[in-house]
């Protein structure tokens, strides 16, 4: 016997000894069916590279339908829509957000016509339509809650009428989930789901997204409605309310820097938990790998696996299509 040999019953490395044993003992797996692809689009007939988010495109309606179809063919079940609205249509009362002939309803109809099985998820919030750039109506510098909720209901309804499968309020107004549920039900849309942005933090990681849509607030910040990054218990309070108000899915956003929140939301609900790997997270990976400082593909998979391991059932990520393509290539 080798005199240096240790007398150990448990050697955890035995479960890591080969690719086969590692596969058998793997606790978490990533699949294309976990993913939602966020898509940006505009009225113009051209597909344009987004300067603030290298690697992402602001699609024409035609480009949007094609891109969504490709992602769907690779196994991504859903897309979430983010429109860039023309400056001339942005107003203080955000009426354009419930125009039945607006950009979003037309996009939903085009997507559902071309890809009936694709799950279309929509963003419910006023920022792309608001001359002030805020998610709610602004009166005397204040973001007013209840009046905003009434407009959000009209917006969600116009999305449901166009064929949205899931409406996702990202505005963080109080009481909006119950109000949207009521409005949908009163109009015969019992089947339309609500994925609530339950714990959405006032995060600097959204910066590149606001550049993509030209939707940054004209004055002030979003701290009176989005959550303080310092708070964890408050996420559970929001969760409790969203459950009572009838949310079908709950979301945590951003993802990577908030995995403790993901875990505690997971442990405190029976609802599916969605997590948004946001634009700043995307960009950190893009930038560091463009500099040759990170192995891009490995870091993308590890970042998503980490989110899944923390408790996500659903991940919204700008890498969705690429990852689905890679998984398909691996036969997974």
Kindly name the residue from 84, 90, 222, 253 that is annotated as catalytic.
253
Does 320 bind ligand PBG (CB under 6 A)? Our answer is: no
Instruction: Give start and end residues of each alpha helix (H) in 141-232.
Output: 145-162, 176-186, 207-213
> What is the footprint of ligand PBG within residues 91-150 (CB under 6 A)?
123, 125, 127, 135
Locus of tokens 């505005």: 171
> Distance between CA atoms of 41 and 43, rounded to whole angstroms?
7
Helix or strand holding residue 138 (H, E): strand 137-139
Contacts with ligand PBG: how many residues (CB under 6 A)? 11
112, 115, 210, 263: residue in contact with ligand PBG (rule CB under 6 A): 210
206 binds ligand PBG (CB under 6 A): yes
Q: State yes or no: is 253 an active-site residue.
A: yes
The rounded distance, in Å, linking the Cα atoms of 42 and 107 is 10
- Does 279 engage in binding with ligand PBG (CB under 6 A)? yes
Residues 218-247 within binding reach of ligand PBG (CB under 6 A): 222
Check: CB of residue 208 under 8 Å from CB of residue 282.
yes
Which of 104, 173, 265, 278 is the binder for ligand PBG (CB under 6 A)? 278
Residue 321 annotated as catalytic: no
Q: Which residue in 276, 269, 272 sits closest to 237, CA to CA? A: 269
Report in angstroms how near the CB of residue 206 gets to ligand PBG at its nearest: 4
Distance CA 326, CA 316 (A): 17
Is residue 209 close enough to count as binding ligand PBG by CB under 6 A? Answer: yes
- Spatial CB neighbours of 7, under 8 Å, sequence gap ≥ 6: none
- Binding site listing for Mg(2+): 238
Which positions are annotated as active-site residues? Answer: 200, 253
Binding site residues, ligand PBG, CB under 6 A: 123, 125, 127, 135, 170, 206, 209-210, 222, 278-279
């Amino acid at each position: 016997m080798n005199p240096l040999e240790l007398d150990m019953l448990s050697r955890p490395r035995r479960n890591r000894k080969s690719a086969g044993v590692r596969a058998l003992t793997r606790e978490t797996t990533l699949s294309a069916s976990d993913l939602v692809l966020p898509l940006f689009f505009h009225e113009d007939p051209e597909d344009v590279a987004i300067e603030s988010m290298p690697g992402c495109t602001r699609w024409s309606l035609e480009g949007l339908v094609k891109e969504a179809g490709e992602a769907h063919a690779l196994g991504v079940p859903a897309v979430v829509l983010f429109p860039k609205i023309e400056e001339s249509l942005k107003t203080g009362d955000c009426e354009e957000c419930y125009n039945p002939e607006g950009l979003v309803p037309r996009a939903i109809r085009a997507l559902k016509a071309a890809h009936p099985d694709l799950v279309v998820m929509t963003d419910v919030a006023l920022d792309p339509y608001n001359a002030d750039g805020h998610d709610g109506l602004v009166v005397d510098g204040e973001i007013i809650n209840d009046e905003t909720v009434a407009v959000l209901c009209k917006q969600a309804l116009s999305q449901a009428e166009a064929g949205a499968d899931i409406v996702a309020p990202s505005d963080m107004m109080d009481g909006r989930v119950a109000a949207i549920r009521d409005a949908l039900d009163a109009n015969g849309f019992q089947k339309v789901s609500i994925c609530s942005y339950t714990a959405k933090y006032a995060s600097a990681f959204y910066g590149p997204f606001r550049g993509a849509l030209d939707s940054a607030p004209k004055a002030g910040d979003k701290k009176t409605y989005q959550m303080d990054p310092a708070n964890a218990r408050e996420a559970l309070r929001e969760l409790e309310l969203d459950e009572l108000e009838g949310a079908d899915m709950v979301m945590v956003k951003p993802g990577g820097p908030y995995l403790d929140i993901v875990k505690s939301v997971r442990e405190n609900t029976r609802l599916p938990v969605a997590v948004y790997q946001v634009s700043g997270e995307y960009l950190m990976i893009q930038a560091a790998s463009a500099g040759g400082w990170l192995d891009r593909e490995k870091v993308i998979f590890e970042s998503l696996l980490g989110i899944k391991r923390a408790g996500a059932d659903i991940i919204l990520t700008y890498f969705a299509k690429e990852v689905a393509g890679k998984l398909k290539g691996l036969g997974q």
